[in-house]
């Protein structure tokens, strides 16, 4: 049996359609599966990839794409201020608590507080971030139109 141009063309077409060698052999007639594979090899038809390999290739190409580096979660800086004991705390001092009130190490920031706020500038910012988050969570949890509780509001207006 010989490979006429027609048969080669058919082989190429079926091969390109992704038919198996056995299917192509059946279609052509008179050739074995091995003969089809051998001919395809001699014709330098691109070696076909199984769906699994194709998937792998896809994953590869995705992997090679530059992945955005994960940024570490932003930590709230630990700022303890002057670590003033409660007994030394005055009403001009930041009342940001440090540590566990049950322990002796417990202290307050003690830095000069901002006008109208119980905290110094640093702690006011931290407090504001926390309350912003709390308000977000609050809104998500309740989804009511009652508005946000007043105690979560911190006014940052300071006219000196
Ligand atoms: Zn403070």
Summarised one tens digit per residue, pLDDT across range 73-114 is 665 557 899 999 999 999 999 999 999 889 988 999 999 999
- pLDDT band per the 50, 70, 90 thresholds, residue 44: confident
Angle between the N-to-C axes of helices 33-42 and 5-16, in degrees from 0 to 180, rounded to the nearest 10:
90
- Distance of CA 79 from the midpoint of ligand 1 (Å): 7
- Distance of CA 135 from the midpoint of ligand 1 (Å): 22
- Distance of CA 139 from the midpoint of ligand 1 (Å): 28
pLDDT score, position 97: 93
User: What is the CB-side half-sphere exposure of residue 46 using CA atoms within 13 A?
Assistant: 7
| Measured CA distances, 122 to 116, 128, 129 (Å) | 14, 10, 11
| Measured CA distances, 118 to 53, 80, 131 (Å) | 64, 15, 14
pLDDT score, position 120: 96
Tell me the residue ranges of DSSP E strands in 101-148. 107-108
- Distance of CA 45 from the midpoint of ligand 1 (Å): 74
Q: Is the pLDDT of residue 122 over 60?
A: yes
**pTM, rounded to two decimals:** 0.38
CB 93 within 8 A of CB 108: yes
Q: Which residue has better confidence, 102 or 1? A: 102
């Amino acid at each position: 049996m010989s490979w006429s141009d027609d048969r080669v063309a058919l082989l190429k077409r079926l091969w390109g359609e992704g038919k198996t060698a056995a299917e192509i052999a059946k279609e052509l007639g008179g050739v074995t599966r091995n003969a089809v594979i051998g001919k395809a090899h001699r014709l330098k038809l691109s070696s076909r990839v199984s769906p699994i390999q194709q998937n792998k290739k896809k994953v590869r190409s995705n992997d090679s794409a530059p992945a955005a580096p994960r940024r570490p979660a932003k930590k709230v800086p630990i700022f303890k201020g002057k670590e003033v004991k409660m007994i030394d705390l005055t009403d001009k001092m930041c009342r940001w608590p440090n540590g566990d009130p049950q322990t002796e190490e417990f202290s307050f920031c003690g830095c000069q507080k901002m006008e109208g706020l119980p905290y110094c500038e640093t702690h006011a910012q931290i407090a504001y971030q926390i309350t912003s988050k709390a308000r977000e969570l609050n809104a998500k949890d309740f989804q009511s139109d009652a508005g946000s509780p007043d105690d979560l509001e911190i006014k940052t207006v300071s006219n000196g």
